[in-house]
Chains A and B, each alone.
Chain A
Amino acid sequence: MFVPCDRGGGSAGSDFKGFTLLMPAVSVGNVGQLAIDLVISTLDMTKVGYFYTDCLVPMVGNNPYATAEENSTELSINAEVYSLPSKKLVVLQIRSPFIKNKYRPFCQTLLSWVKSSKCARVVLLSSSHAYQRDDEQLLGTPLRYLLTPDLEKAVGGLMQELKWKEMEKVAAYPGINDTEKILHIPGGGITKLLFTESCSKGIQMAVLLKFCSEGDNIPDAFALVNYLNEWLQLIKSSVSASSTDASSQWKVPSSWRLLFGNGLPPALF
Protein backbone atom coordinates (compact mmCIF):
# COMPACT_ATOMS: atom_id res chain seq x y z
CA MET A 1 0.00 0.00 0.00
CA PHE A 2 1.08 3.56 -0.62
CA VAL A 3 2.05 5.48 2.52
CA PRO A 4 2.86 9.16 1.96
CA CYS A 5 5.92 10.68 3.64
CA ASP A 6 3.99 13.67 4.87
CA ARG A 7 0.98 12.83 6.93
CA GLY A 8 -0.14 16.40 7.38
CA GLY A 9 -2.54 18.25 5.12
CA GLY A 10 -1.42 19.77 1.86
CA SER A 11 0.16 16.53 0.68
CA ALA A 12 0.20 17.71 -2.89
CA GLY A 13 2.86 15.08 -3.42
CA SER A 14 0.36 12.25 -3.28
CA ASP A 15 -2.11 13.50 -5.86
CA PHE A 16 -1.18 11.59 -8.99
CA LYS A 17 -4.21 12.25 -11.15
CA GLY A 18 -3.22 12.20 -14.78
CA PHE A 19 0.40 11.35 -13.99
CA THR A 20 2.54 8.77 -15.72
CA LEU A 21 3.72 6.06 -13.34
CA LEU A 22 7.17 4.84 -14.22
CA MET A 23 8.34 1.67 -12.54
CA PRO A 24 10.80 -1.19 -12.96
CA ALA A 25 10.30 -4.92 -13.05
CA VAL A 26 12.86 -6.84 -11.03
CA SER A 27 14.30 -8.66 -14.02
CA VAL A 28 17.49 -10.02 -15.52
CA GLY A 29 20.44 -7.75 -14.85
CA ASN A 30 18.20 -5.44 -12.78
CA VAL A 31 18.21 -3.18 -15.84
CA GLY A 32 14.80 -1.67 -15.14
CA GLN A 33 15.80 -0.75 -11.61
CA LEU A 34 19.13 0.75 -12.73
CA ALA A 35 17.32 2.78 -15.38
CA ILE A 36 14.88 4.08 -12.78
CA ASP A 37 17.83 5.04 -10.56
CA LEU A 38 19.15 7.14 -13.45
CA VAL A 39 15.77 8.83 -13.93
CA ILE A 40 15.36 9.67 -10.25
CA SER A 41 18.93 10.85 -9.90
CA THR A 42 19.02 12.98 -13.08
CA LEU A 43 15.64 14.64 -12.57
CA ASP A 44 16.41 15.13 -8.86
CA MET A 45 13.02 13.78 -7.93
CA THR A 46 11.55 14.19 -4.46
CA LYS A 47 10.53 11.21 -2.37
CA VAL A 48 6.82 11.44 -1.63
CA GLY A 49 6.07 8.11 -0.04
CA TYR A 50 6.69 4.43 0.53
CA PHE A 51 5.10 1.36 -0.96
CA TYR A 52 4.63 -0.70 2.19
CA THR A 53 4.29 -4.32 1.18
CA ASP A 54 4.98 -7.84 2.41
CA CYS A 55 5.82 -8.97 -1.13
CA LEU A 56 9.40 -7.72 -1.25
CA VAL A 57 12.44 -8.78 0.77
CA PRO A 58 13.10 -6.03 3.37
CA MET A 59 16.17 -3.85 3.11
CA VAL A 60 17.25 -0.40 4.29
CA GLY A 61 20.11 1.92 3.59
CA ASN A 62 20.96 5.59 3.52
CA ASN A 63 19.90 7.86 0.69
CA PRO A 64 21.16 6.32 -2.57
CA TYR A 65 20.90 9.62 -4.43
CA ALA A 66 22.91 11.62 -1.92
CA THR A 67 24.87 14.46 -3.41
CA ALA A 68 26.27 15.98 -0.23
CA GLU A 69 26.79 15.30 3.46
CA GLU A 70 23.46 16.94 4.35
CA ASN A 71 21.18 14.79 2.27
CA SER A 72 23.05 11.53 2.76
CA THR A 73 21.41 10.57 6.03
CA GLU A 74 17.85 10.02 4.87
CA LEU A 75 16.78 6.41 5.23
CA SER A 76 15.54 4.53 2.19
CA ILE A 77 13.60 1.27 2.15
CA ASN A 78 12.89 -1.38 -0.46
CA ALA A 79 10.02 0.31 -2.34
CA GLU A 80 9.67 4.06 -2.55
CA VAL A 81 7.70 6.57 -4.58
CA TYR A 82 9.21 9.73 -6.06
CA SER A 83 7.46 12.47 -7.97
CA LEU A 84 8.10 15.35 -10.33
CA PRO A 85 4.85 17.28 -10.72
CA SER A 86 6.29 19.56 -13.41
CA LYS A 87 6.57 16.61 -15.75
CA LYS A 88 3.50 14.83 -14.32
CA LEU A 89 5.76 11.96 -13.50
CA VAL A 90 5.59 9.62 -10.53
CA VAL A 91 8.20 6.90 -10.12
CA LEU A 92 8.13 3.75 -8.04
CA GLN A 93 11.55 2.27 -7.32
CA ILE A 94 11.84 -1.34 -6.20
CA ARG A 95 15.11 -2.32 -4.58
CA SER A 96 14.79 -5.95 -3.58
CA PRO A 97 13.56 -9.24 -5.01
CA PHE A 98 10.07 -10.63 -4.63
CA ILE A 99 9.28 -13.15 -1.93
CA LYS A 100 8.15 -16.52 -3.20
CA ASN A 101 4.45 -16.69 -4.19
CA LYS A 102 4.03 -12.94 -3.90
CA TYR A 103 4.02 -11.92 -7.59
CA ARG A 104 0.28 -11.99 -7.97
CA PRO A 105 -0.61 -10.21 -4.69
CA PHE A 106 1.87 -7.48 -5.56
CA CYS A 107 0.44 -6.99 -9.05
CA GLN A 108 -3.05 -6.76 -7.62
CA THR A 109 -2.05 -4.23 -4.94
CA LEU A 110 -0.11 -2.19 -7.44
CA LEU A 111 -2.84 -2.06 -10.06
CA SER A 112 -5.50 -1.17 -7.53
CA TRP A 113 -3.26 1.70 -6.37
CA VAL A 114 -2.84 2.81 -10.00
CA LYS A 115 -6.62 2.89 -10.36
CA SER A 116 -7.30 4.61 -7.04
CA SER A 117 -4.66 7.31 -7.56
CA LYS A 118 -6.01 7.90 -11.10
CA CYS A 119 -2.67 7.63 -12.87
CA ALA A 120 -3.11 8.17 -16.57
CA ARG A 121 -0.76 5.41 -17.63
CA VAL A 122 1.98 3.08 -16.42
CA VAL A 123 5.35 2.59 -18.05
CA LEU A 124 7.19 -0.56 -16.97
CA LEU A 125 10.92 -0.86 -17.59
CA SER A 126 12.09 -4.40 -17.86
CA SER A 127 14.51 -6.81 -19.48
CA SER A 128 14.57 -10.31 -20.87
CA HIS A 129 17.20 -13.01 -21.25
CA ALA A 130 19.34 -12.32 -24.29
CA TYR A 131 20.07 -16.02 -24.79
CA GLN A 132 16.41 -16.77 -25.46
CA ARG A 133 16.32 -14.70 -28.64
CA ASP A 134 15.61 -16.41 -31.92
CA ASP A 135 17.71 -15.85 -35.08
CA GLU A 136 15.77 -12.78 -36.17
CA GLN A 137 15.90 -11.13 -32.79
CA LEU A 138 19.68 -11.53 -32.68
CA LEU A 139 19.94 -8.96 -35.46
CA GLY A 140 18.98 -5.33 -35.04
CA THR A 141 17.97 -3.48 -31.93
CA PRO A 142 17.72 -5.31 -28.59
CA LEU A 143 14.99 -2.94 -27.42
CA ARG A 144 11.32 -3.82 -27.55
CA TYR A 145 7.99 -2.37 -26.48
CA LEU A 146 4.52 -3.61 -25.61
CA LEU A 147 1.28 -1.65 -25.26
CA THR A 148 -2.00 -2.61 -23.67
CA PRO A 149 -4.96 -2.17 -26.04
CA ASP A 150 -6.08 0.98 -24.22
CA LEU A 151 -2.71 2.66 -24.66
CA GLU A 152 -2.34 1.33 -28.22
CA LYS A 153 -5.20 3.61 -29.24
CA ALA A 154 -3.48 6.62 -27.71
CA VAL A 155 0.15 6.22 -28.70
CA GLY A 156 0.34 3.36 -31.21
CA GLY A 157 0.97 5.83 -34.00
CA LEU A 158 3.86 7.45 -32.15
CA MET A 159 5.58 4.07 -31.79
CA GLN A 160 5.38 3.61 -35.56
CA GLU A 161 6.97 7.01 -36.08
CA LEU A 162 9.78 6.22 -33.67
CA LYS A 163 10.31 2.98 -35.62
CA TRP A 164 10.16 0.95 -32.44
CA LYS A 165 9.90 -2.82 -32.55
CA GLU A 166 7.07 -4.57 -30.80
CA MET A 167 7.95 -7.61 -28.70
CA GLU A 168 7.35 -10.68 -30.85
CA LYS A 169 5.11 -13.45 -29.69
CA VAL A 170 6.48 -16.97 -29.65
CA ALA A 171 4.85 -20.28 -30.42
CA ALA A 172 3.03 -21.76 -27.48
CA TYR A 173 4.15 -25.24 -28.39
CA PRO A 174 7.38 -24.80 -30.36
CA GLY A 175 8.09 -27.55 -32.82
CA ILE A 176 4.64 -29.07 -32.39
CA ASN A 177 2.22 -26.34 -33.33
CA ASP A 178 3.53 -23.03 -34.62
CA THR A 179 0.21 -21.30 -35.12
CA GLU A 180 -0.71 -20.54 -31.51
CA LYS A 181 1.39 -17.60 -30.33
CA ILE A 182 1.81 -16.36 -26.83
CA LEU A 183 3.72 -13.61 -25.10
CA HIS A 184 6.86 -14.95 -23.45
CA ILE A 185 9.24 -12.74 -21.48
CA PRO A 186 11.86 -15.01 -19.89
CA GLY A 187 13.75 -13.32 -17.07
CA GLY A 188 11.22 -10.52 -16.93
CA GLY A 189 10.00 -11.16 -13.42
CA ILE A 190 6.50 -9.74 -12.97
CA THR A 191 6.48 -8.12 -16.44
CA LYS A 192 4.20 -10.58 -18.19
CA LEU A 193 1.82 -10.90 -15.25
CA LEU A 194 1.53 -7.15 -14.80
CA PHE A 195 1.03 -6.65 -18.53
CA THR A 196 -1.69 -9.27 -18.90
CA GLU A 197 -3.44 -8.04 -15.75
CA SER A 198 -3.37 -4.48 -17.10
CA CYS A 199 -4.80 -5.60 -20.41
CA SER A 200 -7.72 -7.27 -18.69
CA LYS A 201 -8.31 -4.36 -16.28
CA GLY A 202 -8.26 -1.73 -19.01
CA ILE A 203 -5.19 0.05 -17.67
CA GLN A 204 -2.99 1.97 -20.08
CA MET A 205 0.39 0.32 -19.76
CA ALA A 206 3.53 0.31 -21.84
CA VAL A 207 6.39 -2.11 -21.32
CA LEU A 208 9.83 -1.11 -22.51
CA LEU A 209 12.38 -3.87 -22.35
CA LYS A 210 15.87 -4.74 -23.44
CA PHE A 211 17.40 -8.11 -24.18
CA CYS A 212 20.42 -8.53 -21.96
CA SER A 213 22.41 -10.89 -19.78
CA GLU A 214 23.69 -10.66 -16.24
CA GLY A 215 26.97 -8.84 -15.89
CA ASP A 216 27.83 -5.18 -15.94
CA ASN A 217 24.38 -3.89 -16.79
CA ILE A 218 25.13 -0.19 -16.58
CA PRO A 219 25.37 0.22 -20.38
CA ASP A 220 22.05 -1.68 -20.67
CA ALA A 221 20.49 0.75 -18.20
CA PHE A 222 21.67 3.70 -20.25
CA ALA A 223 20.33 2.13 -23.44
CA LEU A 224 16.95 1.52 -21.82
CA VAL A 225 16.67 4.98 -20.33
CA ASN A 226 17.59 6.60 -23.65
CA TYR A 227 14.93 4.46 -25.34
CA LEU A 228 12.42 5.71 -22.78
CA ASN A 229 13.57 9.25 -23.40
CA GLU A 230 12.85 8.98 -27.14
CA TRP A 231 9.20 8.71 -26.18
CA LEU A 232 8.72 10.61 -22.92
CA GLN A 233 11.37 13.27 -23.58
CA LEU A 234 12.35 13.51 -19.91
CA ILE A 235 15.67 15.18 -20.68
CA LYS A 236 16.94 17.01 -23.71
CA SER A 237 18.80 14.54 -25.87
CA SER A 238 21.89 15.78 -27.66
CA VAL A 239 21.68 16.56 -31.37
CA SER A 240 24.47 14.23 -32.43
CA ALA A 241 22.76 11.27 -30.72
CA SER A 242 25.94 9.25 -30.52
CA SER A 243 25.88 6.81 -27.63
CA THR A 244 28.68 8.43 -25.61
CA ASP A 245 27.08 11.85 -25.70
CA ALA A 246 23.68 10.58 -24.64
CA SER A 247 25.06 8.68 -21.63
CA SER A 248 26.74 11.70 -20.13
CA GLN A 249 23.47 13.58 -19.73
CA TRP A 250 22.15 11.11 -17.20
CA LYS A 251 23.45 11.58 -13.69
CA VAL A 252 24.82 8.43 -12.10
CA PRO A 253 23.70 8.14 -8.47
CA SER A 254 26.31 7.97 -5.72
CA SER A 255 25.09 4.52 -4.66
CA TRP A 256 26.47 2.99 -7.86
CA ARG A 257 29.98 3.06 -6.40
CA LEU A 258 31.66 -0.22 -5.60
CA LEU A 259 29.19 -2.32 -7.61
CA PHE A 260 31.88 -4.87 -8.21
CA GLY A 261 33.46 -5.17 -4.78
CA ASN A 262 35.84 -3.41 -2.46
CA GLY A 263 39.33 -2.21 -3.05
CA LEU A 264 42.04 -4.84 -3.25
CA PRO A 265 44.12 -5.81 -0.24
CA PRO A 266 47.67 -4.53 -0.79
CA ALA A 267 49.02 -7.82 0.60
CA LEU A 268 47.72 -9.51 -2.54
CA PHE A 269 50.62 -8.08 -4.49
Chain B
Amino acid sequence: REVGVLWARGSGAAGEGSAEEPFACSKFVVAVGHNAAAFLSSFILDSVCWEVVGVVKLWNEWCRTSNTTNVLPTDSFCLFYRLISDPTVLLCQCSCYVAEDQQFQWLEKVFGCMQKEGLQVTILSTCPVADYKTQESTLTLPSPFLRALKTKEFKEQVCCPLLEQPNIVRDLPAAVLSYCQVWQIPAVLYQCYTDVIKLDTVTIEAFKPLLSSKTLKSLVKDVSESTKILKKLLTTNETHSNIYI
Protein backbone atom coordinates (compact mmCIF):
# COMPACT_ATOMS: atom_id res chain seq x y z
CA ARG B 1 0.00 0.00 0.00
CA GLU B 2 3.07 2.16 -0.10
CA VAL B 3 2.94 5.11 -2.49
CA GLY B 4 6.27 5.70 -4.20
CA VAL B 5 7.00 9.09 -5.78
CA LEU B 6 10.08 9.25 -7.97
CA TRP B 7 11.41 12.54 -9.23
CA ALA B 8 13.92 13.12 -12.01
CA ARG B 9 16.25 15.97 -11.07
CA GLY B 10 18.31 18.25 -13.27
CA SER B 11 19.89 16.19 -16.02
CA GLY B 12 17.70 13.15 -15.60
CA ALA B 13 19.16 11.99 -12.28
CA ALA B 14 16.36 10.08 -10.57
CA GLY B 15 15.94 9.79 -6.84
CA GLU B 16 13.48 9.91 -3.94
CA GLY B 17 12.10 13.41 -3.67
CA SER B 18 12.35 13.59 0.09
CA ALA B 19 16.12 13.71 0.15
CA GLU B 20 16.29 16.73 -2.12
CA GLU B 21 15.60 20.40 -1.66
CA PRO B 22 11.95 21.35 -2.23
CA PHE B 23 11.63 22.88 -5.66
CA ALA B 24 9.87 26.14 -6.41
CA CYS B 25 6.41 25.77 -7.86
CA SER B 26 4.11 28.56 -8.94
CA LYS B 27 1.38 26.57 -10.68
CA PHE B 28 0.37 23.01 -10.01
CA VAL B 29 -2.39 21.54 -12.16
CA VAL B 30 -3.68 18.11 -11.17
CA ALA B 31 -6.01 16.10 -13.40
CA VAL B 32 -7.65 13.19 -11.63
CA GLY B 33 -9.34 10.52 -13.70
CA HIS B 34 -9.23 9.53 -17.36
CA ASN B 35 -11.31 12.35 -18.80
CA ALA B 36 -9.52 15.11 -16.95
CA ALA B 37 -6.16 13.58 -17.88
CA ALA B 38 -7.26 13.37 -21.52
CA PHE B 39 -8.28 17.03 -21.40
CA LEU B 40 -4.75 17.99 -20.43
CA SER B 41 -3.31 15.68 -23.09
CA SER B 42 -5.50 17.21 -25.78
CA PHE B 43 -5.28 20.87 -24.93
CA ILE B 44 -2.11 21.47 -22.99
CA LEU B 45 0.48 18.73 -22.98
CA ASP B 46 2.83 17.92 -25.80
CA SER B 47 6.24 16.34 -26.06
CA VAL B 48 7.96 19.57 -27.13
CA CYS B 49 7.17 22.03 -24.35
CA TRP B 50 6.74 19.58 -21.50
CA GLU B 51 9.01 16.96 -19.96
CA VAL B 52 8.21 14.13 -17.60
CA VAL B 53 9.78 14.85 -14.21
CA GLY B 54 8.08 12.47 -11.85
CA VAL B 55 6.06 9.32 -11.54
CA VAL B 56 3.96 7.75 -8.80
CA LYS B 57 4.03 4.04 -8.30
CA LEU B 58 1.25 2.43 -6.36
CA TRP B 59 -0.97 -0.59 -6.18
CA ASN B 60 -4.42 -1.14 -4.74
CA GLU B 61 -7.45 -3.34 -5.35
CA TRP B 62 -8.58 -1.13 -8.21
CA CYS B 63 -5.42 -0.60 -10.23
CA ARG B 64 -1.70 -0.81 -10.52
CA THR B 65 0.23 2.02 -12.12
CA SER B 66 1.89 1.21 -15.42
CA ASN B 67 5.65 1.23 -15.69
CA THR B 68 6.12 3.24 -18.87
CA THR B 69 5.91 6.97 -19.42
CA ASN B 70 4.45 6.48 -22.88
CA VAL B 71 0.89 6.10 -21.77
CA LEU B 72 -2.58 6.19 -23.26
CA PRO B 73 -5.26 8.10 -21.40
CA THR B 74 -7.05 4.80 -20.80
CA ASP B 75 -4.12 3.36 -18.82
CA SER B 76 -3.63 3.66 -15.09
CA PHE B 77 -0.78 6.00 -14.35
CA CYS B 78 0.27 9.06 -12.42
CA LEU B 79 2.85 11.26 -14.10
CA PHE B 80 4.26 14.70 -13.42
CA TYR B 81 5.25 17.05 -16.23
CA ARG B 82 7.21 20.29 -16.06
CA LEU B 83 7.05 23.16 -18.54
CA ILE B 84 10.52 23.45 -20.02
CA SER B 85 10.25 27.21 -20.56
CA ASP B 86 9.09 27.77 -16.96
CA PRO B 87 10.15 24.98 -14.57
CA THR B 88 7.90 26.27 -11.82
CA VAL B 89 4.83 25.09 -13.72
CA LEU B 90 3.99 21.52 -12.80
CA LEU B 91 1.24 19.34 -14.23
CA CYS B 92 0.02 16.01 -12.95
CA GLN B 93 -2.10 13.45 -14.74
CA CYS B 94 -3.42 10.91 -12.30
CA SER B 95 -5.63 8.38 -13.98
CA CYS B 96 -5.06 5.64 -11.43
CA TYR B 97 -7.35 5.36 -8.45
CA VAL B 98 -5.63 6.37 -5.24
CA ALA B 99 -7.27 4.44 -2.39
CA GLU B 100 -8.38 6.20 0.77
CA ASP B 101 -5.48 4.90 2.84
CA GLN B 102 -3.03 6.08 0.17
CA GLN B 103 -4.38 9.59 -0.40
CA PHE B 104 -2.60 11.11 2.58
CA GLN B 105 0.69 9.49 1.57
CA TRP B 106 0.29 10.86 -1.97
CA LEU B 107 -0.33 14.34 -0.59
CA GLU B 108 2.57 14.37 1.79
CA LYS B 109 5.02 12.92 -0.72
CA VAL B 110 4.01 15.21 -3.57
CA PHE B 111 3.51 18.45 -1.68
CA GLY B 112 6.45 17.66 0.55
CA CYS B 113 8.75 18.23 -2.41
CA MET B 114 7.36 21.64 -3.27
CA GLN B 115 7.84 25.06 -1.83
CA LYS B 116 4.41 26.32 -0.85
CA GLU B 117 5.05 30.06 -1.17
CA GLY B 118 3.54 31.55 -4.28
CA LEU B 119 1.93 28.25 -5.17
CA GLN B 120 -1.46 28.03 -6.81
CA VAL B 121 -3.20 24.71 -7.37
CA THR B 122 -5.84 23.78 -9.93
CA ILE B 123 -7.56 20.41 -9.75
CA LEU B 124 -9.67 18.84 -12.47
CA SER B 125 -11.82 15.82 -11.86
CA THR B 126 -14.96 14.05 -12.97
CA CYS B 127 -17.79 12.47 -11.12
CA PRO B 128 -21.02 10.67 -12.08
CA VAL B 129 -23.95 13.04 -12.43
CA ALA B 130 -26.07 10.58 -10.43
CA ASP B 131 -24.10 11.72 -7.38
CA TYR B 132 -25.26 15.30 -7.83
CA LYS B 133 -27.88 16.25 -5.28
CA THR B 134 -30.47 18.69 -6.44
CA GLN B 135 -34.12 19.51 -6.01
CA GLU B 136 -34.90 18.40 -9.54
CA SER B 137 -34.26 14.93 -10.87
CA THR B 138 -30.87 14.29 -12.42
CA LEU B 139 -32.51 13.18 -15.68
CA THR B 140 -33.29 16.76 -16.63
CA LEU B 141 -29.83 18.12 -15.88
CA PRO B 142 -27.81 19.29 -18.89
CA SER B 143 -24.84 17.05 -18.26
CA PRO B 144 -21.92 17.23 -18.52
CA PHE B 145 -21.56 20.39 -16.48
CA LEU B 146 -18.90 21.95 -14.29
CA ARG B 147 -18.96 22.96 -10.68
CA ALA B 148 -16.16 24.53 -8.68
CA LEU B 149 -14.88 24.61 -5.12
CA LYS B 150 -12.18 26.99 -3.97
CA THR B 151 -10.05 27.53 -0.89
CA LYS B 152 -10.20 30.68 1.17
CA GLU B 153 -7.00 32.05 -0.35
CA PHE B 154 -8.12 31.65 -3.96
CA LYS B 155 -9.12 35.09 -5.14
CA GLU B 156 -9.44 34.70 -8.90
CA GLN B 157 -12.57 34.28 -10.94
CA VAL B 158 -13.93 30.76 -11.24
CA CYS B 159 -15.12 29.62 -14.65
CA CYS B 160 -18.37 28.06 -13.50
CA PRO B 161 -20.85 28.12 -10.59
CA LEU B 162 -19.70 26.95 -7.17
CA LEU B 163 -20.77 23.56 -5.93
CA GLU B 164 -24.00 23.95 -4.03
CA GLN B 165 -24.69 22.37 -0.67
CA PRO B 166 -25.36 19.54 0.15
CA ASN B 167 -22.97 18.23 -2.50
CA ILE B 168 -19.50 17.08 -1.50
CA VAL B 169 -16.34 15.94 -3.22
CA ARG B 170 -14.41 12.83 -2.25
CA ASP B 171 -11.18 10.95 -2.95
CA LEU B 172 -7.93 12.46 -4.21
CA PRO B 173 -9.40 15.78 -5.42
CA ALA B 174 -10.92 16.29 -1.96
CA ALA B 175 -7.66 15.33 -0.29
CA VAL B 176 -5.69 17.88 -2.36
CA LEU B 177 -8.23 20.64 -1.80
CA SER B 178 -8.39 19.91 1.96
CA TYR B 179 -4.60 20.12 2.15
CA CYS B 180 -4.65 23.48 0.37
CA GLN B 181 -7.42 24.83 2.60
CA VAL B 182 -5.63 23.82 5.81
CA TRP B 183 -2.23 25.14 4.73
CA GLN B 184 -3.68 28.28 3.14
CA ILE B 185 -2.67 27.61 -0.44
CA PRO B 186 -4.91 29.22 -3.08
CA ALA B 187 -6.56 26.35 -4.93
CA VAL B 188 -9.57 25.67 -7.09
CA LEU B 189 -11.23 22.38 -7.97
CA TYR B 190 -13.29 21.97 -11.11
CA GLN B 191 -15.54 18.94 -10.93
CA CYS B 192 -17.27 17.78 -14.11
CA TYR B 193 -20.50 15.93 -13.55
CA THR B 194 -21.01 13.53 -16.41
CA ASP B 195 -23.18 10.56 -17.28
CA VAL B 196 -20.45 8.74 -19.17
CA ILE B 197 -18.09 6.59 -17.15
CA LYS B 198 -15.51 5.87 -19.84
CA LEU B 199 -13.29 8.22 -21.81
CA ASP B 200 -15.60 10.53 -23.73
CA THR B 201 -14.95 13.57 -25.88
CA VAL B 202 -18.09 15.41 -24.76
CA THR B 203 -16.96 15.16 -21.15
CA ILE B 204 -13.45 16.24 -22.06
CA GLU B 205 -14.77 19.25 -23.93
CA ALA B 206 -16.84 20.23 -20.90
CA PHE B 207 -13.58 21.40 -19.35
CA LYS B 208 -13.02 23.89 -22.17
CA PRO B 209 -14.16 26.99 -20.22
CA LEU B 210 -11.06 26.50 -18.10
CA LEU B 211 -8.85 27.30 -21.08
CA SER B 212 -9.74 30.97 -20.70
CA SER B 213 -8.82 31.03 -17.01
CA LYS B 214 -5.75 32.96 -15.89
CA THR B 215 -3.92 29.79 -14.95
CA LEU B 216 -4.37 27.81 -18.14
CA LYS B 217 -4.60 30.58 -20.73
CA SER B 218 -0.85 30.75 -21.18
CA LEU B 219 -0.47 26.99 -21.42
CA VAL B 220 -2.98 26.18 -24.15
CA LYS B 221 -1.48 24.77 -27.31
CA ASP B 222 -2.61 25.03 -30.92
CA VAL B 223 -6.33 24.35 -31.42
CA SER B 224 -5.88 22.21 -34.52
CA GLU B 225 -3.57 19.92 -32.54
CA SER B 226 -6.29 19.47 -29.94
CA THR B 227 -8.96 18.49 -32.45
CA LYS B 228 -6.58 15.91 -33.96
CA ILE B 229 -5.87 14.37 -30.57
CA LEU B 230 -9.53 14.28 -29.59
CA LYS B 231 -10.38 12.51 -32.85
CA LYS B 232 -7.63 9.98 -32.15
CA LEU B 233 -9.07 9.31 -28.69
CA LEU B 234 -12.46 8.68 -30.17
CA THR B 235 -11.12 6.08 -32.59
CA THR B 236 -9.02 4.24 -29.99
CA ASN B 237 -12.14 3.91 -27.88
CA GLU B 238 -14.40 2.69 -30.60
CA THR B 239 -12.40 -0.42 -31.33
CA HIS B 240 -13.22 -1.60 -27.82
CA SER B 241 -16.95 -1.02 -28.11
CA ASN B 242 -17.47 -3.37 -31.05
CA ILE B 243 -18.35 -6.25 -28.85
CA TYR B 244 -22.10 -6.02 -29.42
CA ILE B 245 -21.99 -5.51 -33.16
Contacts and interface: CB of A to CB of B under 8 A. Distances in A.
Contacts of B183: 3
A100 B60 CA distance: 14
B164 interface: yes
Contact of B162 (A3, A73, A99): A73
Contacts of B138: 262, 265
A75 B149 contact: yes
Nearest to B166: A255
Q: How large is the interface on B (under 10, 10 to 19, 20 to 34, 35 or more residues)?
A: 35 or more
Interface residue range, chain A: 35 or more
Interface in B179-195: 181-184, 189
A52 B152 contact: no
Contacts of B139: 265, 267
Interface string B72-101: 000000000000000000000000000011
A223 B139 CA distance: 37
Contact of A58 (B135, B137, B178): B178
Interface stretch (B168-176, B196-204, B207-215, B233-241): B168-176
22 contacts: A3-B183, A57-B100, A57-B170, A58-B104, A58-B170, A59-B169, A60-B174, A60-B178, A61-B149, A61-B165, A62-B164, A62-B165, A63-B165, A77-B177, A101-B101, A254-B165, A257-B133, A259-B166, A262-B137, A263-B135, A263-B136, A265-B140
Given A78-B174, A256-B166, 17 more contacts: A3-B182, A3-B183, A57-B100, A59-B170, A60-B168, A60-B169, A61-B169, A62-B162, A62-B165, A72-B164, A72-B165, A257-B165, A258-B134, A259-B166, A262-B134, A264-B137, A266-B140
Interface of A: 3, 7, 50, 52, 54, 57-64, 66, 72-75, 77-78, 99-101, 254-259, 261-267
